[in-house]
Chains A and B, each alone.
Chain A
Amino acid sequence: MSTDSTSTVTPTDSPLLSVRDVTKHFPGSGSGAFGRKGAPVKAVDGVSFDVAGGETLGLVGESGCGKSTTGRVVSKLLEPTSGSILFDGRDIATLKQREMRHYRSQIQMIFQDPYSSLNPRHTIGTIVGAPFHIQKVKTEGSVKSTVQGIMERVGLNPEHYNRYPHEFSGGQRQRIGIARALALRPKLIICDEPVSALDVSVQAQVVNLLEDLQEEFGLAYMFIAHDLSVVRHISDRVAVMYLGKVMELTDRDTLYSDPLHPYTHALMSAVPVPDVRKERERERILLTGDLPSPSNPPSGCVFHTRCPKFRMELSDEQRARCVGESPVLEDKGPGHKVACHFPSTRPGIKQLLGVPTVRPTDSAESPLA
């Protein structure tokens, strides 16, 4: 279904969510009433992207690249340091908590850890019904019957209304979290690594549930994950983040078959291929060194310290550009945005990963199969 929605939804046509140059800096260490201020940690540093209604935008990157922070800024759990977040045409970046309240019902969130995201002292009914009480939303019939309807929709037994979270398994708990996010019929759900804490068989169930719900309610997802095969399965478009910046942003199939950014190349080469011979033959791009500190990012292109292309292929003149000038995220193809001075395709990757590898549900209808 995800392929269908890409064709019907045009992302440029008045997007539901439009994030422009958003930054989030955390005060550095040693901050306090009397302490000295360290350099701020630039967790998110000038991120721009759009999410259209009914679309899924995947957000990938290694740990500490700022993808979760981006999600929390968009849901206004964190205040952005600068930049604008247009939701339905209105800038919500500067709204105070009180003014934000109305928009809360339209942007919801699903959390990573199903064990800590549910209050152990509340019953499922209380948890899923809480948004109605907080937002003072009138429901058709009682809140209880509405909540039980939602519970049934996400695959929970409505009779478990009065149970407590500790009586459920991880997958069921994540369904409760989904039911809570779904309660107020939001337009956008931010999924912050919703399946990383689940085991693989349950992951597939939850991902499929999310897809079904998207189709039924016309939801837009911002899907944050580090599992590239899950992102590939669910996303329409994917943004690759590194050190608080978007490196590459394009539709799913292009990204996986034709990535242009050297960092994406490295990420893709880390995806396991379910074919022993191919796996043995293919070239792995290993990034050396550690992720630089986000409080003191490298000059110019933040990736140049670990970029294999910078190290092996570029001339000194070109390298000077990488060190001196920060690349902008710009179109290098139709709807294919890359933040790199010297983007290039790697044919090896295209051959290896162009064939769908992990597509359990819709591999038959994939155009590349």
Chain B
Amino acid sequence: MTIDNTPIVADEAVVPEKAPESEGRLILRRFLGNKFAVASIVIVILIIAFSISAIGIGPIPGWWKYGFKALNPQVNAGNPTISLVPQWLGGKGISLGDHPFGQDRIGKDYFAMVMRGIQNSALVMVVLGGIASFVGVVVGAIAGYFRGVIDAILMRITDVFIVIPALVIGSVVGHWVGGLGAPLLAIMLGFFSWMGIARLVRGEFLSLREREFVEAARVAGASDRRIIFKHILPNAIGVVIVSSTLIMATAILLETALSFLGYGIQAPDVSLGGLISSNESAFQTRPWLFWWPGFFIVTLALLVNFVGDGLRDAFDPRHRRFKLRAMREQIPEPAEEAKL
């Protein structure tokens, strides 16, 4: 590696007299001001990180002793061994035990399985959300920017995709590629979930392309590409971020529903929906086989929705004044405390 010792030249001007506050920073500040959404995103990340560290990812092993496929001798009739009540309150003390989430009927460690399910749900969420946003933005941007015949054709195609229920498409796709694993399933599902974003982006483009700053760029001789990427897309990005976050929340539920129906991720791999489905008949005898995956499905879907709501509030200009004023009032307080 060579060392480049030419100094990084900041533009000639000396430090600007006041740090400019860009739209992006403003939005970030507004989002960070929303404690609920920030807590949600932190918890989601912690849950995913915990699941990855517990059972490892790919060939890398985690800290948990059992794998999600291995069969183990039944301990305590498969009951969960986790204990959260401290001894001084009359419980057994805080401990994980041998199988904290219990075991299923053939003795697999349920903690490892649930962790694997969380990993798969997170993977489906991110991949599906990413692909749906990308396809949606491309279709919506082309339709909204070029209008006319292109718009009509693309929007009719979108309509066709919308009228087919997602679950039907999902089960057909899942039936095809379910056996090939979670990533492929997520990719295929992503190609059937972009319609909402495409419509929103098209609407944004239709209104933004008539704004005078777009005309000004055109008068200056800017190309279509420059106008789309430098002028329109940055102004539409809020809509994209918000709706792709909300699509991620639906992705978790879609994957769960598909796995429950038996079209999602196939055994021996594990998904949260699949866990509920395969233990259907054990509800009376081993109810914890529902509690754990159910708890994590609801938690993840809810938290991601909260994040989406927080982002929408941060991007929504109608909230600007109120939030800004609230923030200005908050800012001086820590400074005064510091002086004291």
Contacts and interface: CB of A to CB of B under 8 A. Distances in A.
Interface of A: 32-34, 72, 75, 77, 100-101, 104-105, 107-109, 111-113, 116-123, 130-131, 134-135, 142, 144-145, 148, 159, 161-164, 167, 177, 180, 184
Nearest to B213: A119
Interface in B197-239: 211-213, 215-222, 226, 230-231, 234-235
Contact of B220 (A33, A113, A131, A159): A131
A135 B221 CA distance: 7
Nearest to A165: B213
Interface in B109-162: 148-149, 152-153
A162 B16 contact: yes
Interface string B62-79: 000000000000000000
Interface residues of B, number: 30
Contacts of B21: 164, 167
14 contacts: A33-B148, A104-B220, A109-B219, A116-B212, A120-B23, A121-B235, A130-B217, A130-B222, A131-B220, A134-B220, A135-B220, A164-B22, A167-B20, A177-B216
Contact of B221 (A34, A105, A142, A163): A105
Contacts, number: 90
Interface in B1-60: 11-13, 16-17, 20-24
- Interface of chain B: mostly helix, strand, loop or mixed: helix
Contacts of A164: 20-23
Nearest to B148: A33
Contacts of B148: 33
A134 B23 contact: no
Contact of B12 (A123, A134, A142): A142
Q: Which of B148, B219, B222 is packed against the most chain A CB atoms within 10 Å?
A: B219
Given A121-B235, A161-B13, A163-B20, A116 B213 contact: yes
Contact of A121 (B23, B152, B217): B23
Contacts of A77: 215, 218-219
Nearest to A105: B221
B105 to A, nearest CB: 57
B297 to A, nearest CB: 38
Given A111-B212, A117-B212, A130 B220 contact: yes
Contacts of B231: 119
Contacts of B221: 100-101, 104-105, 131, 134-135
A196 to B, nearest CB: 13
B220 A161 contact: no
Contacts of B213: 116-119
Contacts of A107: 219
A119 B234 CA distance: 10
8 nearest CB pairs, A to B: A104-B221, A33-B152, A117-B212, A111-B212, A119-B213, A131-B220, A109-B219, A116-B212
Contact of A116 (B12, B153, B211, B230): B211
Contacts of B20: 123, 162-164, 167
B152 A112 contact: no
A162 B22 CA distance: 9
A72 B215 CA distance: 9
Contact of A159 (B12, B17, B149, B215): B17
Nearest to B320: A166
Contacts of A144: 11-13
B234 A121 contact: yes
Contacts of A32: 152
Contact of B16 (A130, A145, A159): A159
A163 B230 CA distance: 17
B235 A120 contact: yes
B313 to A, nearest CB: 18
B16 A111 contact: no
Contacts of B17: 159
Contacts of A34: 152
Nearest to B19: A162
Given A33-B153, A131-B220, A180-B220, 4 more contacts: A77-B215, A159-B16, A159-B17, A161-B16
A132 to B, nearest CB: 9
A112 B23 contact: no
Contacts of A180: 216, 220
Q: Which of A105, A121, A177 is packed against the most chain B CB atoms within 10 Å?
A: A121
A108 B219 contact: yes
A264 B301 CA distance: 67
A134 B149 contact: no
A208 to B, nearest CB: 23
Q: Which of B12, B24, B220, B231 is packed against the most chain A CB atoms within 10 Å?
A: B220
A162 B230 CA distance: 17
A173 B61 CA distance: 59
Nearest to A32: B152
A112 B212 contact: yes
B216 A111 contact: yes
Nearest to A123: B20
A112 to B, nearest CB: 7
A131 B230 CA distance: 13
Contacts of A159: 13, 16-17
A111 B235 contact: no
A162 B17 CA distance: 10
Contacts of B217: 119, 130, 134
A131 B174 CA distance: 51
Contacts of B22: 121, 123, 164
A184 B216 CA distance: 13
Nearest to A177: B216
A75 B213 CA distance: 15
